[in-house]
Amino acid sequence: MKEKFAFLRDYSDSFIEQAGLEVLIKAESVSRKMSDQDRSRKAEDKLLANRESLKPVWVEGGEDNRIDCLHKGRFLAGAACSAQKLWLSARDFIGAKGHSPLSSYDMSSIGLGGSVSAKGWVEIHDPSSTSLSIRHFNLSGISKPNSSTRDPDFPDLEDISEIKNALRALKGAMAFVHPWNRSIDALESFLVQSSFCSADLSGLDKQAQLLSRFVDFVLVENGNRFRDREPFLSTRELRNTWSDFFSSKSSTVGAKQRSNSHSFAKQQVKPVQFAQKQSPGLNQLPSDRYNVAPFLFNDDICVLWNIGKCLKAPGTCSTKKGTPLRHVCNFRPDPSKMDTPCGKQHPAFTFHK
């Protein structure tokens, strides 16, 4: 029996003869657990030893044209530092604008051929781009009539499944263009872990449109962060970012976005009426200002800065008519005082918790 069952070799013949079947089964279970733990320790010891034995590798210079002449530096072992450190190192090495855009990447080999528009390829090569959009990677939307007010060439996404497919194409394209950029992986992890924010979006109209705008907001924010040498939004940070974004957006859509909740609609209408009563001129938005709800608007606060889309330096921002705009938070912390913004030195959609 010892030849057939290796775990019995640790026991004497007399013990095996006297032990019952139940005892032997438990002994085998213990033996397997110990063997598994031993293999796990060996694997961990190997990984630790490899980590401690890492040494700098000299990489000789050579030619590389990104197509048929590839430098051996492309095939070095993967960077084992933090993703944020890799991101910031790339900023120092390649600069803010990245590389010359191409579209000849083999997306077909990973089942994503034709999923990226020409606009998408141009913008994804620029790590600091504030024009990159999830809609640039929506293959099913290319042939649809355009209903988007944000970009005349790309329609809004109409279904969560389109966001999933577009995100997959964006992630695949990023792996070809900038393998060091893991910001899309962080975004995907957040969306998957939250089931694409289904709990918050339940009952809302145009769920895909709202979620796609959040994705675009994150892409713009990460573009700004790369330009400013700041880490990208991690999966953990994106939880707070979504919470702030959704609370702001859900208050702007009001009752129209809650088709199955009459009580919720009443709660949304009251703050609007209060804001109009206190500031009757706020509902008359000039054409050169961002189209937001009246109670998120203030005459001397830049709305675009609060959503990460104003690139002007503080003190230089103004409307087309020359009215100076402050770069302060326009979030309304008190629903009963919608005419009183936060006013602190941080963008509303990113920093409010």
Domain residue ranges of the chain, discontinuous segments joined by +: 1-31, 83-255, 261-353
Full-prediction pTM beyond 0.85? no
- For the beta carbon of residue 41, count every other beta carbon within 10 angstroms: 10
Q: Based on the number of CB atoms within 10 Å of its own CB, is 227 exposed (0-12), middle (13-18) or buried (19 or more)?
A: middle
Nearest Cα neighbor of 232 from 247, 209, 312, 241 is: 241
Structural tokens at position 338: 């919608």
Answer yes or no: is pLDDT of 175 > 90: yes
Mean pLDDT of 247-273: 51
Question: For 293-327, what is each residue's pLDDT tens digit?
Answer: 444 555 688 888 887 778 777 778 888 777 888 88
The fraction of the chain above a pLDDT of 70, given in percent, is 74
**Max Cα distance, the chain (Å):** 99
The whole-number pLDDT of residue 17 equals 60
Q: Which residues pair with 327 in a beta bridge?
A: none
Question: For 206-242, what is each residue's pLDDT tens digit?
Answer: 899 999 999 999 999 999 999 999 999 999 999 999 9
Answer yes or no: is pLDDT of 44 > 70: yes
Q: What angle do CA 90, 96, 100 make, to 5 degrees?
A: 90
Answer yes or no: is pLDDT of 258 > 90: no
Question: For 71-92, what is each residue's pLDDT tens digit?
Answer: 998 998 889 899 999 999 999 9
8 Å CB contact between 201 and 66: no
Between 19 and 72, residue with greater pLDDT: 72
Nearest Cα neighbor of 107 from 154, 156, 168 is: 168
> What is d(CA 297, CA 292) in angstroms, rounded to the nearest whole number?
7
Question: For 85-142, what is each residue's pLDDT tens digit?
Answer: 999 999 999 999 999 999 999 999 999 998 999 999 999 999 999 999 999 998 765 5
